[in-house]
Amino acid sequence: MTGIHPQAGLTTGDADEAAMKRTLASRAAETYVRGSAEKIGTASRYEVLPLDAVTAVITDVAPEDAIVGDLERAGAALRRAG
C-alpha cells in the first residue's frame, strides 16, 4: 500500500496493483499490511481495501500521534512494529 488513510482506507497509485492486492486479500485467511509512518495518513488514487477488511496494520507510527486514534475509529487494528 502507498496510502493508509482514515477515510480513503488502504490505497495504491496503480489500478492493476490495487486489483491484484484485493484478489490476494480475498483468498487469505488473514491479511496484514505494513504501514510505515510516511504512508500513514496519506491516500493514493486507487482504493485497495477498507481499513476493517484487514487483520491489522503493522506500523512504526508513534502511538501518541493523532492519526492513530483516527485510524482506530475508522476500523483499523494497529500493531506496533519493533
Q: What is the pLDDT along the chain (82 residues), one digit of tens a residue?
A: 999 999 999 999 999 999 999 999 999 999 999 999 999 999 999 999 999 999 999 999 998 999 999 999 999 999 998 7
Q: How many domains does the chain have?
A: 1
At 13, list the grid cell. Answer: 497509485
At 73, list the grid cell. Answer: 475509529
Radius of gyration, alpha carbons of the chain: 12
pTM score, two decimals? 0.91
At 37, list the grid cell. Answer: 509512518
Domain span holding position 12: 3-80
Q: Residues 6 or more apart from 16 whose CB is under 8 A from it?
A: none
